[in-house]
Amino acid sequence: MAFGIVFSLDYEIHGNGAGSPMELMVEPTWRLLRQLERFGGKLTIFAEAMEILRFREHFRATGRDDFAYEAIAEQLRYAITHGHDVQLHIHPSYANAILENGRWKQDWREYDTARLPPSRIRAVLAEAAGVLDEILKPVQPDYAMYAFRAGNWAMMPTRNIADALIDRGILLDSSVFKGGMRDNVAKFDYSGAHSALLPWRADRDNINVVDPSSPLWEYPIYCEMRSIWAFVSLNRFYRVFQTRTNRLGDEDAPPTEPGVPRPGKLARLAATFFGKHAWKADFNQCSGPQLIAALKRAKSTYGAQSGLLPFVMIGHSKTYGRYNEATLERFLTFATSRATEYRFAVYRDFLHDLQAFA
């Protein structure tokens, strides 16, 4: 048994359409690539292809590369030709986005991919896949998209999006984190997910459930249910600051549907401080020692399994800061010092072992 540590990176600007792609995508990702390469590590870039498509269209229409399209294309080509991977990430609200005062104003009616009509999901997937093919196939003719991460991790309801992915030959999703729940601009409930770490063949009607006949695999982001105190780190405070600074305003927030009435303030505070919360192996928000401890716990829980086990970590290019880089060094040093137990991987390294987890 060994663990394959997967560094998966959501490659995008801020959710409200603001920010410089050079500063939020290209520059931090170069630093992360160089850091991983010093340790023999690999990176899977989940490239937000609808954003990149808008950047490309702006460049071609105006002749001004204001959104660093050429630098993005160069970086993705480098990744795919140097042992890393590039796969598909989508926020479909960018499909009809327009540029206003330097910020991309999105169509919030199309924010949640899983809730779009089947024909619209297929159209968005085709458009997004096309831009990555155009960038990558000239340097790697056999490049193929096989993995997907949904915007805001939303893969429920599952049927329409699962069918669309399968029809395109994308047979691996990595959006689920066991215990995760949302009931706002995206809606999902992963409390019943099959596993926090082991992949499973995902039922087309419910991504949480195993269906041995399904061609779609779920590779979950590693997650544990922890108390609020487990979330404390300087990295996480920086992420909270970034989120609040670039949060959606009332004028451009996605529409929400009436839902279950929220509990009172005291009940919410009690749930926050005394309840358990979904703690993802997020290399932006967790410290190096926190990630080391999580890897050890995963080994203790799943170490009896055979084969190469995926320990999927998540990060975002836009919050990969200098302190983040420094504390991640400790995790990388730990993992490489135990090469018989841990190795670095991308999702395709598991493809030949998929049947073992059926």
Q: What is the pLDDT of residue 190?
A: 98
- Alpha carbon distances (Å) from 198 to 43, 243, 305, 309: 20, 30, 9, 7
Q: What is the pLDDT of residue 307?
A: 86
- What is 45-111 written as a DSSP string? EEEEHHHHHHHHHHHHHHS--TT-HHHHHHHHHHHHHTT-EEEEEE-GGGTT-EEETTEEE--GGG-
Q: What is the pLDDT of residue 357?
A: 44
Q: Can you read off the two tokens belonging to residue 175? A: 């959006």
3 state DSSP class of 169: coil
Q: Are 233 and 287 in contact (CB under 8 A)?
A: yes
At 22, the amino acid letter reads M
Task: Provide the 8-state DSSP code for 289.
Answer: H
Question: Where do the DSSP E strands lie in 215-262?
Answer: 217-218, 223-226
pLDDT in tens, 194-213: 999 999 999 999 999 999 99
Ordered domains of the chain (ranges, CATH): 2-251+263-357 (3.20.20.370)
Show the low-confidence residues of the chain (pLDDT under 70). Answer: 227-275, 352-358
Q: Are 49 and 129 in contact (CB under 8 A)?
A: yes
Q: Are 353 and 312 in contact (CB under 8 A)?
A: no
Minimal CA–CA distance to 148: which of 89, 221, 208, 67?
Answer: 89
| DSSP-H helix ranges across 257-337 | 265-274, 288-302, 322-336
Q: What is the pLDDT of residue 351?
A: 78
Tell me the backbone φ, ψ of residue 247, rounded to 5 degrees: -75, 165
Q: Can you read off the two tokens belonging to residue 336? A: 């490489």
Q: What is the pLDDT of residue 235?
A: 54
Paired strand residues for 342: 3
Integer Cα distance of 164 and 71 in angstroms: 30
Q: Note if the pTM is more than 0.85.
A: yes
